Chain A
Amino acid sequence: MRRIVLPGEKVFDSPREVESCVKDANGTYATEVSVFYDDKVVPLKGVYVPHQGEGIIGIVSNLNFSGYVVDLNSPYPGRLSDQETMEDLQLGDVISVKVQVVTEVNECALIEPQRLSGGDILEVPAVKVPRIIGRNGSMLNTIKEFTGTDVLVGKNGRIYLRNGNVGLAAEAIMKICRESHTSGLTERVTAFLTQNR
């Protein structure tokens, strides 16, 4: 049974280490407006903070003498050394990239950049990404299948869409974001895609 919980609301009667929670002597409490189910607390909103190993989509926002500063749709910028890139990048270039390492102050170094072109960017809250991908990628595959669109989902909430019915793919993704806290979502999204194909 899913339930919406609020900051300061008790989710367990004893102190436990749980993501997106704090604890005191009397129990464990949610820290954000979240969905609580399966003993997990999943926030419904929030900014993206980079973590090691994550695949994300960035936009080159600045150049300095050793490389590039990349906007990650986050309060924290990423740095890409020009040793890592085969080609020269321009301001405004969209790249898929991986987080190599993150410092204590959440700044990160990026590797394996690949320039993306010919498509459109969609930005969604990073917390919605697991829902958009679905269990074992099932939700994402459904979208790709029905729309014929190449969909690249960055963990930072940036999504690159190219070819096929981009508009329909984008609408399906927005629908998932709006209804991410409910269940039965896969069926509804599949129905939506079928109707509007």
Chain B
Amino acid sequence: MTEKRELIRNGKRANGREDDELRPIKITVGVLDKAQGSCLLEWGKNMVLAGVYGPREVFPKRDVDARKAILVARYVMAPFSGVEGHGRAGPNRRSREISKVAGHVFENVVLTEKFPKTMIEVQMEVLQSDGGTRIAAITAGVLALADAGIPMKDLPCGSGVGTIDEDNKRMVLDLDKYEDNLGKSDIPTILSPRTGEILLYQMDGYLTKEQLLEGLDKVQSKAVPRLREEMARALKEKYGGMAENGGVEQ
């Protein structure tokens, strides 16, 4: 019989991380040659592959909007993504809901009015999952959009935050799967770094107002700067970061 995994050992998180520490993140853009933009993102043991097609002609035609591009976000988990049994291929209710809220994040920042009567699709495939997959997927989607050259007014990012102790008081950042399953609360949060606005916010748990604000501050002050750094590095990598000095060609 497997014993219940403990989340806190000797006062520290059982997985060895500090309360405000995120898991290791590895990002590469431009990994698929057919999609206009793409991103492979590894966040701890999560692995997400996101791809963008568009702006292109709308399909089905009846969804066309004469004022702006329609944005279609799809979040799907591979049947071999989790440690538990064989999953179903294709979307289920949970992935449909995540697709919807992910779409709201993209719609906020993408300048859709620049491409009326077209469609921009963001496909997010979760190949391996270990808690916090929707945050990883949306981050990968944002990077795929940037890689595709689709104009955005910001690069949203964030992380999960929640309580893992029996007293429901100790807030930590970036819960992995065990912390999410056995802990007391999990709040996936995504912000627009430029304005500080909340673009994604969902919650499982029973918490006070102070706790919610504490969680938001943690994400803003600790998670967002770390994510921005990783995302900037991945996008600039292709171009060597800085283009050298020299004459102007134009």
Which A residues contact B (CB, under 8 angstroms)?
A: 1-4, 6-8, 20, 22, 24, 29, 31-33, 35, 37-38, 43-47, 49, 75-76, 104-107, 125, 127, 130-131, 134-135, 139, 181-186
User: Would you call A4 and B242 a contact (CB within 8 A)?
Assistant: yes
* Interchain CB contact (< 8 A) of A185 among B57, B146, B249: B249
- Give Cα A31–Cα B231 distance, bound, in whole angstroms: 15
User: Would you call B244 and A2 a contact (CB within 8 A)?
Assistant: yes
User: Would you call B146 and A29 a contact (CB within 8 A)?
Assistant: no
User: Would you call A3 and B239 a contact (CB within 8 A)?
Assistant: no
A92 smallest CB distance to B (angstroms): 19
User: Would you call B155 and A6 a contact (CB within 8 A)?
Assistant: yes
Residues in A with CB closer than 8 Å to B241 are 4
Residues in A with CB closer than 8 Å to B246 are 182-184
Interface residues of B in 151-202 (CB under 8 A from A): 151-155, 192-195
A to B CB contacts below 8 Å, 18 in the list: A2-B243, A2-B244, A4-B235, A6-B235, A7-B154, A8-B109, A8-B155, A29-B153, A29-B194, A44-B149, A47-B149, A104-B116, A105-B116, A106-B116, A135-B249, A182-B244, A184-B246, A185-B249
User: Would you call B152 and A31 a contact (CB within 8 A)?
Assistant: yes
- Give Cα A6–Cα B237 distance, bound, in whole angstroms: 12
Residues in B with CB closer than 8 Å to A104 are 116
Q: Are A4 and B239 CB-contacts (below 8 A) given A20-B151, A182-B244?
A: yes
The reply on B2 being an interface residue by CB < 8 A is no
- Give Cα A150–Cα B211 distance, bound, in whole angstroms: 68
User: Would you call B55 and A47 a contact (CB within 8 A)?
Assistant: yes
- Give Cα A22–Cα B192 distance, bound, in whole angstroms: 15
- Give Cα A29–Cα B155 distance, bound, in whole angstroms: 12
- Give Cα A127–Cα B151 distance, bound, in whole angstroms: 13
Interface size, B (range): 35 or more
Residues in A with CB closer than 8 Å to B235 are 4, 6, 33
Q: Are A8 and B249 CB-contacts (below 8 A) given A20-B151, A75-B54?
A: no
Residues in B with CB closer than 8 Å to A32 are 146, 149-152
Known: A31-B111, A75-B115. 13 other contacts (CB 8 A): A7-B151, A29-B153, A32-B149, A33-B146, A46-B149, A47-B149, A76-B117, A106-B117, A127-B149, A182-B246, A183-B247, A184-B247, A185-B249
User: Would you call B116 and A131 a contact (CB within 8 A)?
Assistant: no
B183 smallest CB distance to A (angstroms): 32
Task: Using CB atoms, name the residue of chain B closest to A20.
Answer: B151
User: Would you call B153 and A7 a contact (CB within 8 A)?
Assistant: yes
- Give Cα A37–Cα B239 distance, bound, in whole angstroms: 15
The reply on B232 being an interface residue by CB < 8 A is yes
The reply on B236 being an interface residue by CB < 8 A is yes
A9 smallest CB distance to B (angstroms): 8
Task: Using CB atoms, name the residue of chain A closest to B120.
Answer: A75
* Interchain CB contact (< 8 A) of A183 among B111, B118, B245: B245
Residues in B with CB closer than 8 Å to A135 are 249-250
* Interchain CB contact (< 8 A) of B248 among A6, A7, A38, A46: A38
B196 smallest CB distance to A (angstroms): 12
Residues in A with CB closer than 8 Å to B148 are 45
User: Would you call A7 and B118 a contact (CB within 8 A)?
Assistant: no
The reply on B32 being an interface residue by CB < 8 A is no
Q: Are A22 and B111 CB-contacts (below 8 A) given A47-B149, A105-B116, A134-B249?
A: yes
- Give Cα A11–Cα B248 distance, bound, in whole angstroms: 19
B51 smallest CB distance to A (angstroms): 14
- Give Cα A104–Cα B115 distance, bound, in whole angstroms: 10
Task: Using CB atoms, name the residue of chain A closest to B242.
Answer: A3
Residues in B with CB closer than 8 Å to A44 are 149, 239
User: Would you call B66 and A105 a contact (CB within 8 A)?
Assistant: yes
- Give Cα A60–Cα B174 distance, bound, in whole angstroms: 52
Nearest 6 CB-CB pairings of A with B = A183-B246, A45-B149, A8-B154, A2-B243, A46-B149, A31-B151
Residues in A with CB closer than 8 Å to B118 are 75-76
